[in-house]
C-alpha cells in the first residue's frame, strides 16, 4: 500500500509539468512572423484600371509596366524633339508608388549624349507622369503598401 501511495505521489508530481503553459509574448510572435516575411515581394503589383481584366500576378505586372511605358512614349511623341546626332539610349527611371497610389519619380539615369541632345528630357519625363490615370497601389497581406521599381525606357531618335 505504501508503495502504491509513493508511486501515485511521484506520478502526480511528474504530471504537473504537462499542465504548465508557456506564455508567449506578442513581441515574440511578431519577431517570428517578421523573420518569415518576404519584404521584396507583394501579393498584387500596382495597377491601372485597364489592367483589371488580367488574372495572374505576372500579367498584372506586365500590364502595369506596358501601360506606364506607353503613356510616356505617347507624351514624348507629342513634342517635336529635334536632335543633331542619332540617339539610341536606355533611360532608367526609378519610381515609387505610394500606398495612396501616387507615382513619384525618384531618380533618372540618362546618358550624357542624350542629356546634351535633349536638355529638357527630365522635365518631359516628369510632365508625362502627370497625365497618368489613377494608379491602384500594391497590396501585401491585404494592406496597401509603397513599392519601388525601375523601368527602362528606350529612346531612339534620328
Q: Is 103 left (phi over 0), alpha (psi -120 to 50) or beta?
A: beta
CA distance 137 to 147: 8
Q: Determine phi and psi for 57, rounding to 5 degrees.
A: -65, -45
List, in sequence order, every residue forming a beta bridge with 93; answer none if it has no partner.
Answer: 108, 151
pTM of the model: 0.69
Confidence of residue 123 (pLDDT cuts 50, 70, 90): confident
Q: Note the pLDDT tens digit of each residue in 90-113.
A: 889 898 999 998 888 888 888 888
DSSP string, 87-137: EEEEEEEEEEE-TTS-EEEEEEE--HHHHHH-TTHHHHHHHHHHT---EEP
Q: Note the pLDDT tens digit of each residue in 3-18.
A: 887 877 777 766 655 6
Rounded alpha-carbon distances, angstroms, from residue 59 to 32, 54, 63: 32, 6, 6
Greatest extent of the chain over all pairs of C-alpha atoms, in Å: 110
Look at residue 128 in the predicted model and tell me its pLDDT.
84
Amino acid at each position: 500500500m505504501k508503495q502504491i501511495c509513493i508511486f501515485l505521489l511521484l506520478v502526480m508530481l511528474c504530471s504537473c509539468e504537462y499542465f504548465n503553459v508557456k506564455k508567449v509574448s506578442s513581441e515574440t510572435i511578431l519577431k517570428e512572423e517578421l523573420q518569415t516575411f518576404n519584404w521584396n515581394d507583394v501579393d498584387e503589383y500596382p495597377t491601372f484600371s485597364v489592367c483589371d481584366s488580367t488574372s495572374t500576378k505576372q500579367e498584372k505586372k506586365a500590364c502595369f509596366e506596358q501601360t506606364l511605358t506607353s503613356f510616356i512614349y505617347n507624351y514624348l511623341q507629342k513634342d517635336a524633339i529635334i536632335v543633331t546626332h542619332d540617339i539610341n539610349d536606355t533611360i532608367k527611371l526609378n519610381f515609387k508608388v505610394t500606398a495612396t497610389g501616387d507615382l513619384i519619380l525618384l531618380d533618372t539615369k540618362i546618358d550624357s549624349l542624350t542629356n546634351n541632345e535633349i536638355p529638357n528630357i527630365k522635365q518631359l519625363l516628369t510632365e508625362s507622369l502627370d497625365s497618368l490615370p489613377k494608379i491602384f497601389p500594391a497590396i501585401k497581406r491585404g494592406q496597401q503598401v509603397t513599392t519601388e521599381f525601375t523601368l527602362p525606357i528606350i529612346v531612339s531618335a534620328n
